[in-house]
Amino acid sequence: MAKRFSLSLSDEAEADFDKSYEFYFEDSPKVADTFYKQFNLGFKHIRLNPSSFPIAYKDVRKYVVIKFPFVIYYRIVDLSIQVIAIFHTSRNPEIWNERT
């Protein structure tokens, strides 16, 4: 039987997502809805097989979001997945590195 992982977002990751979602929503609620669905799909993929995605830094792994220039950075602790950042690919990665 497969392991069941829980997934949680740090306050910073939640703020990252909310800010980006609002940006897309102001432009197009339809695009924002697609954005939301792609993140849910990403979280599902991560929960199903968290070790399959590449290590970005130390024990932090990354998942590249489909259709959007975003990366989900997370770490695996026991059966818990801790999302530490949701980052636009044009931003300086040093910012999320500080969260580790």
Tell me which residue of 81, 78, 76 sits closest to 59, measured CA to CA. Answer: 76
Strand, helix or coil at 4?
A: coil
pTM, two decimal places: 0.88
What's the pLDDT score for residue 98? 62
Phi, psi of 4 (to 5 degrees): -110, 115
Please report which residue ranges of the chain form alpha helices under DSSP H. Answer: 11-27, 29-48, 94-97
Whether the Cβ atoms of residue 64 and residue 49 lie closer than 8 Å to each other: no
Query: DSSP 3-state assignment of 76?
Result: strand
Type of residue at 20: S
Dist CA 77 CA 48 (whole Å): 15
- Structural domains in the chain, CATH included, are 6-97 (3.30.2310.20)
pLDDT in tens, the chain (100 residues): 567 899 999 999 999 999 999 999 999 999 999 999 999 999 999 999 999 999 998 999 999 999 999 999 999 999 999 999 998 887 666 665 566 6
